[in-house]
Amino acid sequence: MAVTIKDIAKKAGVSYSTVSRALNGGENVKPDKRELIMKIAKDVGYVPNQAAINLKLSRAHTLGLFLSTISKSTSPYVLHDVVSGIYSAVGSQYSVIVKGIDMQEPNTLNPAIFDGLVILSQRTDDSIFIEEAITKHIPLVVINRPVYYGVSNVLTDEAQGMKKAMEYLLDNGHRNIAIIESTQTLDSTRARHRGWVQAVEYCGLDPKSMPIAVGNYRFHSGYLAAKELLVYKPTAILCFNDEMAHGARKAILEAGLSVPGDISLIGFDNLDASRFSDMKLTTIERNMLKIAQTGTEVLLGKIEHGDTSCERIYLDTQLIIRETVMDIRTGQVSK
């Protein structure tokens, strides 16, 4: 079996993109790392893919980032992290054009414009666009949603992440928990729903006993959803993202209540705002910057080295404990 750039990266203990830059004479590679990579490549008999070399001469040096438009489902905070992750992988080697999947006619997708595509997929409907890109032989990677037909994926297990969030509330004595979800047309929403339901059922509780309001992953929708849920007098509200959690907090404060004194809050995403605002939100970190960076490194292997393998890479979620969950058995903030 031919040695690939992945084999070199593993032996050198560096990222896919670092090896790619070193082999192609790119910038931002430390001299000692470049020397190590070149030595390993020689020792293992690495031979660049000739087809990829030929294609390199006619490249546009442009990547396409395609996503569901911000007005419909993609948070601007998530978009910021994804773009940052892509550029951390490509440096100055490529420019990036950002387009909406739902604003693009699939049959107008032009392989001459894009060397490769990073597809931030939220919905099953995106499959039409993905299949068109495959048909046109454009290298691509799908991030954020599992795709089951010959495509490389980089994503997190969102069900497992939301399971962690609900387990944390349950472990702190909460049973009267309200949930702010989002539209079930999004794969991420369905995965997160499965996660909290699993945690509740494992504790022998009935998920149907927990009040649910539906938002759209935006601040104001979280505010409206929380106002709807306050009539149930929950001790905690689990929010499907941080932005809605911050909106929920506004509704809680307007009702003359406090966080976490009266109502605990937990989010999902670990946005900068959750770290640095006056409310230090307990949340689940889904590192979209790292997801996008890893996905782009996989894509570069396809573009620059002719890697035709398809893989699914799961990155872990992490519970980030801050100051918005109360242990109702002790009356103390859980830390």
Name the residue ranges covered by the structural domains of the chain. Answer: 5-47, 59-157+287-316, 158-285+319-333
CA of 34: how far to CAs of 21, 206, 294, in Å?
9, 57, 20
Taking only the tens place, the pLDDT of each residue in 1-25 is 567 777 888 888 888 778 877 876 6
pLDDT number for residue 127: 85
- Fold of the domain built from segment(s) 5-47: 434 Repressor (Amino-terminal Domain) (1.10.260)
Query: For the whole model, what pTM was predicted?
Result: 0.79
Taking only the tens place, the pLDDT of each residue in 80-114 is 899 999 999 888 889 999 988 876 665 668 888 89
Q: Count other Cβ atoms within 10 Å, centred on residue 7.
A: 16
Mean model confidence pLDDT for the chain: 88
CATH number of 59-157+287-316: 3.40.50.2300
CATH 3.40.50.2300 applies to domain 158-285+319-333: yes
> Can you read off the two tokens belonging to residue 31?
């001299």
pLDDT number for residue 43: 86
pLDDT number for residue 1: 58
pLDDT number for residue 103: 67
Angle between helix axes 16-23 and 31-43 (nearest 10 degrees) is: 80
pLDDT number for residue 257: 98
Write out residues in the chain with pLDDT < 50, as ranges. 54
Give me the sign of the Cα torsion angle 27, 33, 37, 38: positive
pLDDT number for residue 200: 98
